[in-house]
Structure 1
């Protein structure tokens, strides 16, 4: 069996490792434009901030390891064309320019995503950088050493992590985003505003609700112009977002409007013997019950693993995702799963929410911390569809618990009565997860009472 794999970051690495274990006699050809595999891009901000001193530690697999196991690693090779019906692709050696055709029996598309680069005048100036791969990480480190004014465009996870890293390195940092608040895709306002406050207290300039219209400079960027102001910049890092890297298969394979490849629960595309996994494709969302584009390393690893198991026969279904993620900025430990209220409404769900803000231990304990927790649930079914937590203490694992709940269709009533232990060192007699669900139940009971009074 000849297997071709296009791309080798998280999904590709997982697929190859599992194929080697399941089908040791398979002939595997891997095509990767970079000279490395398995780079953990989520560690770039930690590298910039000096938490990670050696960028090489941000890899968990190597080209040499795969080659030693018999994998044909075509590094610095770009796949320039692929005919999925003829089961043939053409790849170009990016160093020599040589073109070569390859046949395959099974194709695995793990081509990932690429940063969105809006067509902004002046975007070709020096020191305007992207943040995605190992080369980007090294370039950001190198170019940031001798600059003072850094502008980060995009207030998602990567953007805010870089802002923290640059600020702690003593840079003057400006964060620009077209939305009115940071992290709006992941958190509701009461969870993102504490982070904004921390940024402001540390001198970070938040230029929110603004769109970049131009970069100015002579050779090297010197200023970022928006529709509401202008900001000095010796270095700009673009973190606007990502889009699926799937142009090669446009018109050949079914995709969402944004180019994300549509796969079934066994990671099969619309073409026989063609599979896809990772940031290049959509994933079933348990909160919305629809395919969604959620580019996360965790999703990519799961999907790559599934491709290998289903390569010969459909035996292992994708359980769906909740888009669960975590973030640490300064003293804020944050995590979320499923949908925010606004995201749920945009997805066509009718939802309500319950929130608590309370000490996590009994008040008699000498040390304590406040936990803020929010639950989003569907009004008609009481099904939990989202949750968020923030605290100076680390309660992020509670979001993993709620992720399991969403995956299994748990209701607020079921969560309210779930058996959680009590020990004063760790929590109160009524666990905070029970507590927020009980509050949701009380709210729904009040609605029923009000409706009964109106009807009476």
Structure 2
């Protein structure tokens, strides 16, 4: 078999790469190879534990998007990439030739190397339908659940499991959401989680205790936590084994790519969790595992497979995050204040706070807090953090674009906006504008 384009992986990155390839090059044949028949919507996985009635509510219908475009799919596992022969070999023994190849192999959760980690009822949170289904079923009979980790997945999974009426404890080494938010936002979400009934314990795991099944989590300080079930959410690693075996350039953060997502082989592209990213401001390499980033990269790759059609102005990546736990929405883009100062930027911070409806008597009104971080030298925006209701989810996208276009505090202060009482904050007190105004006043001092 031979195809013009072969995509390895059918999650957000692989799916989008295939769609983009077919739309920009409709005469080309495209094949997507996926390991599992049933895929999951990555960002929806936490909600299978509470909000959704079943794991099946979060299935990613890849064929629904691909078949109308004429993209073929194959359920199999690629075990080898031969860059010279331009062939992939699969677990079932197939050899498939390609003109262009896209690697979208994603990431896998880190499993701890701890004494007792081999006990039953110790889990991670992978994007694996059958594994997650088994975990969801096991949760039905568990009463005490300990979740190790303080990142987005840990918080979201914990918040969902507590909706099942379980006793949930979050075990955190440092503060919550440390890499994406400054301390005042961590405190906000910690307060909300505690109000919702989630226990938060700060410490580090030494070992897991139990005979056949896990019964306790022992901490380095000697304290022990009772547990019927333990979930580790301590990070993810890029799936780069295929790339390494193929001789592609791979760093500690993932597969190296240029600004058009080309690897060290000119006809092999890579997108998503499995690739190395470079920070928008510093250019430093780092790992970033977001479906939104994967789809952005996949659109760039798909459009530019055979010729450069979409020019990418900046080869660097902005981390843009959002989450919703215990009734609180948090979102962030760019550098935190802590990170900006650590990198040597002299910064000015502006705050804006107020209701997201006007007047605030509407029943779905929530208070929104916006924090903007600017460089003192020219007032360019470096980062943003927002907390409030669900309106925050789209507000952060405005600020991500502002960061991408390097807007200044003055430009955000004069932002022209549409407002409506049922939909937005008052034009008199629009939080982004207020935060920019606060920063401008400080810049003048």
TM over 0.5: yes
Q: How does 1:321-400 map to 2 (within 5 A)?
A: 321-359=317-355, 366=361, 369-392=366-389, 394-400=391-397
Match of 2:210 among 206, 217, 242: 217
Match of 1:160 in 2: 155
CA separation in 2, counterparts of 1:149 and 1:365? 39
Match of 1:120 in 2: 114
**TM-score, length-scaled by structure 1:** 0.87
| Match status 1:239 vs 2:240 | no
Q: C-alpha offsets along residues 263-297 of structure 1, whole Å, 9 cap, x if unaligned?
A: 22211112110101111113454344455422111
Match of 1:173 in 2: 168
**Structure 1 residues 144 and 423: CA distance shift in structure 2, 3 A:** closer
CA separation in 2, counterparts of 1:431 and 1:65? 38
Match of 1:17 among 19, 22, 33: 19
Q: Which moved more, 1:345-354 or 1:181-190?
A: 345-354
| Match status 1:2 vs 2:4 | yes
Match of 2:123 in 1: 129
Equivalent position SS for 1:105: strand
Contact 2:353 2:431 (C-alpha < 8 Å) held by counterparts: no
Q: C-alpha offsets along residues 115-156 of structure 1, whole Å, 9 cap, x if unaligned?
A: 112211221211111212123321221110001010111111
| Match status 1:55 vs 2:62 | no
Contact 2:352 2:433 (C-alpha < 8 Å) held by counterparts: no
Equivalent position SS for 2:214: strand
**Structure 1 residues 392 and 28: CA distance shift in structure 2, 3 A:** closer
Contact 2:356 2:391 (C-alpha < 8 Å) held by counterparts: no
Q: C-alpha offsets along residues 349-392 of structure 1, whole Å, 9 cap, x if unaligned?
A: 44332223345567x75456432110111222321011111124
**Structure 1 residues 424 and 81: CA distance shift in structure 2, 3 A:** closer
Point out where structure 2 has 5 or more consecutive residues left out of the alignment: none
Match of 2:257 among 260, 263, 269: 263
Contact 2:369 2:431 (C-alpha < 8 Å) held by counterparts: no
**TM-score, length-scaled by structure 2:** 0.89
Q: Which moved more, 1:56-65 or 1:159-168?
A: 56-65
Match of 1:80 in 2: 79
CA separation in 2, counterparts of 1:245 and 1:86? 23
Point out where structure 1 has 5 or more consecutive residues left out of the alignment: 94-98, 447-456
Equivalent position SS for 1:220: coil
Contact 1:361 1:428 (C-alpha < 8 Å) held by counterparts: no
CA separation in 2, counterparts of 1:203 and 1:355? 30
Contact 1:350 1:378 (C-alpha < 8 Å) held by counterparts: yes
Q: Which moved more, 1:168-177 or 1:78-87?
A: 78-87
Q: C-alpha offsets along residues 317-351 of structure 1, whole Å, 9 cap, x if unaligned?
A: 34554222221112212211111112223445443
CA separation in 1, counterparts of 2:381 and 2:91? 48
Q: How far has the Cα of 1:421 moved from its partner?
A: 4.4
| Match status 1:295 vs 2:296 | no
CA separation in 2, counterparts of 1:136 and 1:307? 31
Q: Give the length in aligned residue pairs.
A: 434
Q: How far has the Cα of 1:409 moved from its partner?
A: 0.6
Contact 1:382 1:412 (C-alpha < 8 Å) held by counterparts: yes
**Structure 1 residues 101 and 376: CA distance shift in structure 2, 3 A:** same
CA separation in 2, counterparts of 1:393 and 1:70? 37
Q: C-alpha offsets along residues 176-222 of structure 1, whole Å, 9 cap, x if unaligned?
A: 1221x1111121111121221122234322122x2222112222111
Q: How far has the Cα of 1:54 moved from its partner?
A: 4.1
**Structure 1 residues 394 and 62: CA distance shift in structure 2, 3 A:** closer
Match of 1:248 in 2: 242
Say what the alpha-carbon RMSD is for the aligned residues: 2.5
CA separation in 2, counterparts of 1:407 and 1:333? 23
CA separation in 2, counterparts of 1:414 and 1:188? 24
Q: How far has the Cα of 1:428 moved from its partner?
A: 4.5
Equivalent position SS for 2:260: coil
Q: C-alpha offsets along residues 57-78 of structure 1, whole Å, 9 cap, x if unaligned?
A: 4234334874686655331x33
**Structure 1 residues 292 and 110: CA distance shift in structure 2, 3 A:** same
CA separation in 2, counterparts of 1:129 and 1:393? 30
